[in-house]
Amino acid sequence: MLVLGIDTSCDDTSASVVKDGRCALSNVVHSQIELHHPHGGVVPELASRAHLRNIVPVVSEALSKAGVSLDDIDGIAVTIGPGLIGSLLVGLYYVKAISYTRKIPFVGINHLEGHILSIFLEERVPDFPFIALTVSGGHTCLYSVSDFGKYRLLGKTLDDAAGEAFDKVAKVLGLGYPGGIEIEREAKKGDPKKISFPRPYLSKDSLDFSFSGLKTSVSLFFKRWRDDPSLQKEVSISDIAASFQDAVVDVLIEKIRRALRITNTKDVVVAGGVACNKRLRERLLNELNARIYFPRPEFCTDNGAMIAVAGYHRLRKGERADLYTDARSRYPISEI
């Protein structure tokens, strides 16, 4: 079965053709980083306008690279949430038009389900059940995954997502956008033990996350550092970045460790944009007594391939969307 997957949930226009839910024949992503860089973050109106310009050529390129046409496509999967509503609508209405005119069935996919199932684009895959951490600019969630389409939410962020905290701290430190890449680059030159930032574990047994307090702590420290020349001699921007990064990683690892203990599982999938962070990957592999699985970086950031994988399994079950299907800016995975 050939599935065309399309994702326009935020600032990347992406399309992919995936065969049998396992093999990505193409994966095209048009990034908007240069567009949003001057603003220090994603501007929703600019993002949706860029999707309108890019979606037709991106889908055409994905079909061309896969060596197929729309006549060969058995089904289409498109992200309907969560995300920026204007961006989501571009992808959804484009797919509705194709489905209506070409008589190709389509399904609406939860973006987070795509991240969870992105690991099945790799040769090495986990056994069910497994723990999945989706960690990105908009989401930080822990799930117990018992099968395709069967997810139990264990914990979620109560405020800022980890990736959002990276972006905001990078902006405070004057490191630019996107923040995750800039923080990681700067942190390589710093000492992660130089500053003891708080580790927001919330409560002893909680699997929820909270990063707003950590972000505030870094911001307050930076203001003090900026106004104190003697402190600047002791601590560098690199030290601040490294200490912040390790605080986030400590929290993520501890929450996964608790989830493994509670669920008595051995496999962990870490997906989403922050899963590209090398410090997080290294420490997870070294510190957790579990089998750790990461999608390759191009399947961690937003992409159409992961949406196609999720769509494949839903189409196989006979699921179909209709022209009344709508986008949702908030879409808890427990509702699917």
pLDDT per residue as tens digits for the range 52-68: 999 999 999 999 999 99
Average pLDDT estimate for 99-121: 97
Polymer length of the chain: 336
Q: Does domain 2-117+299-335 have CATH number 3.30.420.40?
A: yes
Tell me the pLDDT of the chain averaged across its residues. Answer: 95
Q: What angle do CA 41, 44, 50 make, to 5 degrees?
A: 100
Cα–Cα distance between 137 and 135 in angstroms, integer? 7
pLDDT given at position 202: 74
pTM to 2 decimals? 0.94
Let me know if the fold of 2-117+299-335 is the same as that of 125-294.
Answer: yes
More confident residue, 39 or 211: 211
Average pLDDT estimate for 271-278: 95
Structure tokens at 155: 């914990």
Each residue of 155-204: pLDDT tens digit? 999 998 999 999 999 999 999 888 899 999 999 999 999 999 999 877 77
Structure tokens at 177: 């956008």
Q: How far is CA 307 from CA 45, 180, 230, 300, in A?
A: 23, 23, 51, 12
Average pLDDT estimate for 134-145: 93
pLDDT given at position 137: 83
pLDDT given at position 225: 96
pLDDT tier for residue 335 given thresholds of 50, 70 and 90: low
Answer CATH for 125-294 from 1.10.10.60, 3.90.1300.10, 3.40.605.10, 3.30.420.40: 3.30.420.40
What amino acid is encoded at 125 in this protein? V
Q: What angle do CA 252, 258, 262 make, to 5 degrees?
A: 145
Average pLDDT estimate for 27-43: 89
Cα–Cα distance between 241 and 225 in angstroms, integer? 13
Q: What percent of the chain has pLDDT over 70?
A: 99
Nearest to 255 by CA among 294, 212, 201, 214: 201
pLDDT tier for residue 334 given thresholds of 50, 70 and 90: low
Structure tokens at 276: 């590209």
Average pLDDT estimate for 92-105: 98
Per-domain boundaries in the chain? 2-117+299-335, 125-294
- Among the ranges given (6-10, 138-142, 191-195, 203-207), the one the predictor scored with the smallest mean pLDDT: 203-207
